Amino acid sequence: MESRRGPLKSAVPSNIVSPVRRCSRTACGRPAVATLTYVYADSTAVLGPLATYAEPHCYDLCAEHSERLTAPRGWEVVRLLDGSAPARPSGDDLEALANAVREAARPQERAAEAGGARTADPMEVARRGHLRVLRSPEN
């Protein structure tokens, strides 16, 4: 007897399958950003940029899992930096940012060092940091 339903349909609809590679960790569906490879002869785990295609003995990891990666005891983790990835801020970067904020908070001192006092705006009554109190035009 012939089936009236027509040809057998796939169990997984094709519009659900994503071309984006996903993290290999169980129950993690985030996009992969790094590839992990184990070099058993050297007891080394190598974590690098996402490989151009999926390898059978490599693991694709998302950003969170790649940052938290640890290796078994006695193994070494080698992290290869991707040249296109933005560098993390160093202590020097954060210190430079803090110094720039401190400098911006002292506009009167900076103006005095730059070559004398500023000409006062006749509408300005008071100044506190970057805020100004202005006189009403009617007064």
E strand or H helix at 63: helix 63-67
- Calculate mean pLDDT across residues 107-127: 57
Question: Dihedrals φ, ψ of 103, to 5°?
Answer: -65, -40
pLDDT tens-digit series, residues 8-65: 555 555 455 557 899 999 999 899 999 999 998 889 999 999 988 888 889 999 999 9
Please give the pLDDT value at position 54.
84
Q: Delimit the domains of the chain by residue range.
A: 34-79
48 or 91, which is more confident?
48
Secondary structure of residue 131 in the 3-state scheme: strand
Q: Which residues contact 130 (CB under 8 A, 6 or more apart)?
A: 104, 107
94 or 72, which is more confident?
72
Q: Are 29 and 56 in contact (CB under 8 A)?
A: no
> Can you say whether the dihedral through the CA atoms of 129, 91, 69, 24 is positive or negative?
positive
State the pLDDT confidence band at 98, using cuts at 50, 70 and 90: confident
- Calculate mean pLDDT across residues 80-84: 68
Please give the mean pLDDT across all residues of the chain. 75
> Hey, what amino acid is at 115?
G
Q: Which residues contact 69 (CB under 8 A, 6 or more apart)?
A: 36, 45, 47, 61, 77
